A and B are shown apart, each in its own frame.
Chain A
Amino acid sequence: MTADGHSPAPGGFGRMPRKEDQRFIRGKGMFVDDVRLPGMLYGAVLRSPHPHARVLSIDTIAAEGHPKVKAVITGETLAGLNLAWMPTLFADTQAVLATDKVRFQGQEVAFVVAEDSYSARDALELIDVEYEPLPVVVDALRALDPGAPVIRDDRPGRTDNHIFDWETGDAAATEAVFRDAEVTVAQDMLYPRVHPAPLETCGIVADFDQVTGKLTVWETTQAPHAHRTLYAMVAGLPEHKIRVISPDIGGGFGNKVPIYPGYVCAIVASMTTGKPVKWMEDRSENLMSTSFARDFHMHGELAATRDGKIRAVRVKVLADHGAFNGAAQPSKYPAGFFGVFTGSYDLEAAYCQVTGVYTNKAPGGVAYSCSFRITEAVYLVERMVDVLAFELGIDPAELRLRNLLRPEQFPYTCQTGWVYDSGDYPRTLRLAMDIAGYEKLRKEQEALRAEGRLMGIGLSFFTEAVGAGPRKHMDILGFGMADGAELRIHPTGTAVLRISVQTQGQGHETTFAQIVAEELGISPDNVEVVHGDTDQTPFGLGTYGSRSTPVSGAATAVVARKVRERARIVASAMLEVDPADLEWERGRWFVRGDPDQGKTIAEIALAAHSSLELPEGTEGQLDAACVYNPPNLTYPCGAYICVVDVDPGTGKVSVRRFIAVDDCGVRINPMIVEGQVHGGLADGIGMALMEVIAFDADGNCLGGSFMDYLLPTSLECPSWELGETVTPSPHHPFGAKGVGESATVGSPPAVVNAVIDALRPYGVRHADMPLTPAQVWRAIQGRPLRTDLAIG
């Protein structure tokens, strides 16, 4: 009870069970593959077995003769519609169906539409494609060799596989620091190609109504509005006649941002057959052809003093983008946000140079909860700090504490120009060390080493830059990365919030209701969150890059505050006082000095729709809309400690403990935040120890099923130990920062550092991920191998 005798309004922020769970635990979710429409046909994609080959001919006669086949679409069909190629999300083009060549194994060659999905697959076998195999390059380090096969000879004048050169920082200043540094260390490291592998693969149901001209698609997309606009621009359909629905999505992790050829084919098929067409890829198609992640070959260097003050960092990167440059990232950032490779440290200088190349591999690169390549940046700098610690013989925790930014340095402009908004890094790291019992662990390690047993303790400290982003700096294909929100208050005081982002498991239906609840003092149960339907929600760029809370969450708070101000005017009419004489407490406006005279949002909403006489110029409802253009990114941070045991005989790594302290500012629903962190930590175990999409010398993909592409299960994951510090973002309306990708970004270096730490008795300084038993065993033998290529 408050002092004035009124019960406080129901809480907004805090732990509460998720609203969306009710349908999922009953098996009542509605995923794309659950959509069933009358007369629906089924599509299947014929894919290239060759990583690089000229397409000489495609014979579809037998397939067309299959009794259940309704249509066969080839590149030639699409060329007639000017759709054989489509723009990627990064200023390149990608073949929808191959017309001239195939450029990676698994590339789309033809599309069959049949009465059922089994028949569609049968008919694929009836298509006869004549290929002329071409020399292959799947090793990025060979892509720029003279004489390397030119993959993108579709692009006029192209004579090599070079895509871009990009640099950031100050090369001369960095060189000057390195020249007079007491200590320098250098290390080559690979962040291998991995795949987000959401449990639900990608797919679409396309339904074109030939009478109304309206195209409705249900898609596994993280960016429904962007897709709608692109379809309008590429296919020439009027945008208001396109409705993109992103229903329940079985995990995204960046895999479901791009437009895939199968989507375009299904839409074309629906338009030509006049029937709804469903296309769901299988697991191999998902792993072999949709957006991969990473594939960064990095050369890192640190300059430091002998007593462990890090002075400068320098990086050279070779980025393998596959056969088409389809990196889904803001257009001014060809290497994503890799520029945050300065990490969490106070440096004198920094410089990096990135070269992007084409190879005969699937396109993508920006995915798997990477925060636009900050995953690679954090891995680089956190691995390098451990290399330096190894070199100097300083404890890696101590080395970090000597170099972390201090709280009073915020806002901090790093050497590559990113403005870190807030943080108390030493406190965050010390908390992680306290939870871990760091000193005790080191003592235990010492004792075990004396017995010949291998125990490792690995740290990482990450800073992320998430919530893209300020429109003047950040756009995707020219669309500024702002997000909209619309809030409607019904006469009885319940609310409908429409947002431009949507959930793939993050719990938006709950957390966004909590934001409205927090701002307006109504129960989250009385707020319906509408999302994932372009006909029903305002424009915005979607859910990825940990941007929902920083951008759309901010939009929600702003729109709720607009509603609050509208309510104030109505309340003033109800109470017959000047609006300036009203004060807000959660859920109600009351007369200053007379708290009994007040009106709740529900009372005000009803009055707003009544015959009450309102001040001149005031509309009779409380509804509001806004678009939020973030002034800066938010910069969550975290300190992670991993403890492993390594079997020297087999190389098998067991993760014994994992401590994660995250600072993502104010937490809307701590239960959901912790869940997000848990999932990312499992990703880190997977990437560090198990996951890789490798290729053999002939360009065959070796990670094309879950038997080959290994994901962590309940047995590889320990019970996570979490902690938190809270430094609110100073520029976000309620102080929140993004957190969805923090653990995926921050955890891999902690695991790798732990394994390398365990191998210290063998003098191992580095070995590339994934640290499979074979790779660890080789590292013990002093010859770790490249993990991205099959051993010949």
Chain B
Amino acid sequence: MTIRVAVTVNGTDYARDVEPRLLLIHFLRDELGLTGSHWGCDTSNCGSCVVWLDAKPVKSCTLLAAMAHGHVLRTVEGLEQGGQLDPVQQGFIECHGLQCGFCTPGMLMTARWLLDHYPDPDEAQIREAISGQVCRCTGYENIVRSIRWAAEHSRADGAAEGEA
């Protein structure tokens, strides 16, 4: 038995017939080939699988693909636009916010959401925002700095314009 799942991911429409039990993370990775989002724990603890569902970060290992039917998704592959990196991507490079890179896509998606809603977060707010996600390499310090960097270098065309 299969079920039709139609979604918009990073602005592109997709439709696939899949098993009703298929998890969203596996749908994205295996059906759509969007392997930037990672699977890490199965229990919603690590956050490697964070993507946006209707502009809100969710843990895609704990949603069925079917639950995303008719919804709009955004993944790490959708951050770079028109050949220009999102400031959070640039921030992670500038501040060494990643090492092995496995948690990075999920961290970036949460960071983007945070800055969209809180353009000038302090350290405590950033730590709170990423506290549902695990990084085993960085000790979080440089992730915090990376997000601060992004806050201070918001895109000129962004809603949350920071310093020039």
| Residues of chain A having any CB pair with chain B under 8 Å | 17-18, 20-29, 31, 33-34, 36, 117-118, 197-201, 248-251, 253, 282-284, 504-507, 671-672, 674-682, 705-707, 711, 713-715, 717, 719-720
Decide if B12 is an interface residue (CB 8 Å cutoff): no
* Cross-chain contact of B92 among A25, A200, A719 (Cβ < 8 A): A25
Residues of B100-141 contacting chain A, CB below 8 A: 100-105, 108, 123, 126-128, 130-141
| Distance (whole angstroms) from the CB of B85 to the closest CB of chain A | 7
**Across the interface, which residues of B come within 8 angstroms of A706, CB to CB?**
41, 43, 45-46, 134
Please tell me if the beta carbons of A714 and B140 are within 8 angstroms of each other in the complex.
yes
Stretch at the interface among B1-9, B30-38, B63-71, B153-161: B30-38
| Distance (whole angstroms) from the CB of B47 to the closest CB of chain A | 9
* Cross-chain contact of A707 among B35, B45, B96, B141 (Cβ < 8 A): B45
Please tell me if the beta carbons of A283 and B40 are within 8 angstroms of each other in the complex.
yes
Complex-state Cα separation, A220 to B131, whole angstroms: 27
Decide if B151 is an interface residue (CB 8 Å cutoff): no
Given contacts A283-B41, A713-B131, 14 further A-B contacts (CB under 8 A): A18-B93, A27-B35, A199-B100, A248-B100, A249-B100, A283-B40, A504-B100, A505-B98, A505-B101, A678-B142, A679-B137, A713-B133, A715-B131, A719-B144
Please tell me if the beta carbons of A680 and B139 are within 8 angstroms of each other in the complex.
yes
Question: Across the two chains, which residue of chain B brings its CB closest to A504?
Answer: B100
Please tell me if the beta carbons of B92 and A679 are within 8 angstroms of each other in the complex.
no
Q: A283-B43, A706-B46 are in contact. Are A25 and B140 (CB under 8 A)?
A: no
| Distance (whole angstroms) from the CB of B124 to the closest CB of chain A | 9
Complex-state Cα separation, A123 to B80, whole angstroms: 41
**Across the interface, which residues of B come within 8 angstroms of A717, CB to CB?**
139-141
**Across the interface, which residues of A come within 8 angstroms of B35, CB to CB?**
27, 31, 33-34
Complex-state Cα separation, A18 to B94, whole angstroms: 9
**Across the interface, which residues of B come within 8 angstroms of A714, CB to CB?**
126-128, 130-131, 133, 140, 143-144
Complex-state Cα separation, A504 to B33, whole angstroms: 23
* Cross-chain contact of B34 among A17, A27, A506 (Cβ < 8 A): A27
**Across the interface, which residues of B come within 8 angstroms of A26, CB to CB?**
36, 76-77, 79-80, 89
Please tell me if the beta carbons of A679 and B96 are within 8 angstroms of each other in the complex.
no
14 A-B pairs within 8 Å (CB atoms) are namely A17-B94, A22-B93, A25-B98, A198-B100, A250-B101, A251-B137, A505-B98, A672-B96, A677-B139, A679-B139, A681-B139, A705-B41, A713-B134, A714-B126
**Across the interface, which residues of A come within 8 angstroms of B13, CB to CB?**
none
Please tell me if the beta carbons of B131 and A250 are within 8 angstroms of each other in the complex.
no
Complex-state Cα separation, A399 to B19, whole angstroms: 65
Please tell me if the beta carbons of B136 and A251 are within 8 angstroms of each other in the complex.
yes
Please tell me if the beta carbons of A199 and B46 are within 8 angstroms of each other in the complex.
yes
Complex-state Cα separation, A181 to B34, whole angstroms: 67
Please tell me if the beta carbons of B42 and A705 are within 8 angstroms of each other in the complex.
yes
Question: Across the two chains, which residue of chain A brings its CB closest to B89?
Answer: A25
**Across the interface, which residues of A come within 8 angstroms of B29, CB to CB?**
33-34
Complex-state Cα separation, A29 to B105, whole angstroms: 10
Complex-state Cα separation, A101 to B33, whole angstroms: 41
Decide if B21 is an interface residue (CB 8 Å cutoff): yes
Complex-state Cα separation, A20 to B100, whole angstroms: 9
Decide if B99 is an interface residue (CB 8 Å cutoff): yes
Please tell me if the beta carbons of B134 and A711 are within 8 angstroms of each other in the complex.
yes
**Across the interface, which residues of B come within 8 angstroms of A681, CB to CB?**
139
Please tell me if the beta carbons of A679 and B43 are within 8 angstroms of each other in the complex.
no
Please tell me if the beta carbons of B102 and A251 are within 8 angstroms of each other in the complex.
yes
Please tell me if the beta carbons of A21 and B93 are within 8 angstroms of each other in the complex.
yes
Question: Across the two chains, which residue of chain A brings its CB closest to B95?
Answer: A671
Question: Across the two chains, which residue of chain A brings its CB closest to B143?
Answer: A714
* Cross-chain contact of A678 among B45, B76, B138 (Cβ < 8 A): B138
Complex-state Cα separation, A603 to B139, whole angstroms: 44
Q: A118-B21, A713-B133 are in contact. Are A200 and B105 (CB under 8 A)?
A: no
**Across the interface, which residues of B come within 8 angstroms of A672, CB to CB?**
96
Decide if B60 is an interface residue (CB 8 Å cutoff): no
Q: A200-B102, A706-B43 are in contact. Are A720 and B80 (CB under 8 A)?
A: no
Please tell me if the beta carbons of A505 and B93 are within 8 angstroms of each other in the complex.
no
* In the complex, the 7 A-B pairs of residues with the closest C-beta atoms, listed nearest first: A27-B36, A505-B100, A24-B101, A250-B102, A678-B139, A505-B99, A706-B45
| Distance (whole angstroms) from the CB of B48 to the closest CB of chain A | 6
Complex-state Cα separation, A211 to B159, whole angstroms: 58
| Distance (whole angstroms) from the CB of A747 to the closest CB of chain B | 10
**Across the interface, which residues of A come within 8 angstroms of B133, CB to CB?**
713-714
Please tell me if the beta carbons of B85 and A25 are within 8 angstroms of each other in the complex.
yes
Q: A680-B139, A714-B127, A720-B141 are in contact. Are A29 and B42 (CB under 8 A)?
A: no
**Across the interface, which residues of B come within 8 angstroms of A677, CB to CB?**
139
| Distance (whole angstroms) from the CB of A40 to the closest CB of chain B | 11
* Cross-chain contact of A713 among B99, B100, B137, B140 (Cβ < 8 A): B140
Complex-state Cα separation, A677 to B142, whole angstroms: 11
Question: Across the two chains, which residue of chain A brings its CB closest to B92?
Answer: A25
Please tell me if the beta carbons of B99 and A507 are within 8 angstroms of each other in the complex.
yes
Question: Across the two chains, which residue of chain B brings its CB closest to A678?
Answer: B139
| Distance (whole angstroms) from the CB of A788 to the closest CB of chain B | 22
Please tell me if the beta carbons of B76 and A27 are within 8 angstroms of each other in the complex.
yes
Complex-state Cα separation, A678 to B46, whole angstroms: 19
Question: Across the two chains, which residue of chain B brings its CB closest to A681?
Answer: B139
| Distance (whole angstroms) from the CB of B144 to the closest CB of chain A | 7
**Across the interface, which residues of A come within 8 angstroms of B76, CB to CB?**
25-27
Please tell me if the beta carbons of B43 and A707 are within 8 angstroms of each other in the complex.
yes
Complex-state Cα separation, A679 to B142, whole angstroms: 10
**Across the interface, which residues of A come within 8 angstroms of B139, CB to CB?**
677-682, 717, 720
Please tell me if the beta carbons of B138 and A679 are within 8 angstroms of each other in the complex.
yes
Please tell me if the beta carbons of B140 and A24 are within 8 angstroms of each other in the complex.
no
**Across the interface, which residues of B come within 8 angstroms of A506, CB to CB?**
99
Complex-state Cα separation, A715 to B130, whole angstroms: 9
Complex-state Cα separation, A20 to B102, whole angstroms: 12
Q: A25-B89, A25-B93, A706-B46 are in contact. Are A198 and B123 (CB under 8 A)?
A: no
Decide if B52 is an interface residue (CB 8 Å cutoff): no
Question: Across the two chains, which residue of chain A brings its CB closest to B104?
Answer: A24
**Across the interface, which residues of A come within 8 angstroms of B43, CB to CB?**
283, 705-707
**Across the interface, which residues of A come within 8 angstroms of B40, CB to CB?**
199-201, 283
**Across the interface, which residues of A come within 8 angstroms of B80, CB to CB?**
26
| Distance (whole angstroms) from the CB of A389 to the closest CB of chain B | 28
**Across the interface, which residues of A come within 8 angstroms of B92, CB to CB?**
21, 25
Complex-state Cα separation, A319 to B118, whole angstroms: 50
* Cross-chain contact of A505 among B105, B130, B137 (Cβ < 8 A): B137
Please tell me if the beta carbons of B93 and A17 are within 8 angstroms of each other in the complex.
yes
Complex-state Cα separation, A145 to B34, whole angstroms: 54
| Distance (whole angstroms) from the CB of B142 to the closest CB of chain A | 6
Complex-state Cα separation, A118 to B35, whole angstroms: 18
| Distance (whole angstroms) from the CB of A662 to the closest CB of chain B | 13
Please tell me if the beta carbons of B98 and A21 are within 8 angstroms of each other in the complex.
yes
Please tell me if the beta carbons of B96 and A248 are within 8 angstroms of each other in the complex.
no
* Cross-chain contact of A715 among B26, B46, B127, B141 (Cβ < 8 A): B127
Question: Across the two chains, which residue of chain A brings its CB closest to B39?
Answer: A33
Question: Across the two chains, which residue of chain A brings its CB closest to B132?
Answer: A713
**Across the interface, which residues of B come within 8 angstroms of A117, CB to CB?**
26
The residue in B39, B133, B137 that gathers the most chain A C-beta atoms within 10 A of its C-beta is B137
Question: Across the two chains, which residue of chain B brings its CB closest to A250?
Answer: B102
Please tell me if the beta carbons of A31 and B85 are within 8 angstroms of each other in the complex.
no
| Distance (whole angstroms) from the CB of A246 to the closest CB of chain B | 12
Complex-state Cα separation, A250 to B49, whole angstroms: 14
**Across the interface, which residues of B come within 8 angstroms of A33, CB to CB?**
29, 35, 38-39
Complex-state Cα separation, A385 to B42, whole angstroms: 42
Question: Across the two chains, which residue of chain B brings its CB closest to A705?
Answer: B43
Complex-state Cα separation, A711 to B135, whole angstroms: 9
Please tell me if the beta carbons of A20 and B101 are within 8 angstroms of each other in the complex.
yes
* Cross-chain contact of B96 among A283, A671, A719 (Cβ < 8 A): A671
Complex-state Cα separation, A24 to B93, whole angstroms: 10
Question: Across the two chains, which residue of chain B brings its CB closest to A671?
Answer: B96
Complex-state Cα separation, A18 to B96, whole angstroms: 8
Complex-state Cα separation, A20 to B93, whole angstroms: 9
| Distance (whole angstroms) from the CB of A117 to the closest CB of chain B | 8
| Distance (whole angstroms) from the CB of B94 to the closest CB of chain A | 7
* Cross-chain contact of A118 among B19, B105, B132 (Cβ < 8 A): B19
| Distance (whole angstroms) from the CB of B147 to the closest CB of chain A | 10
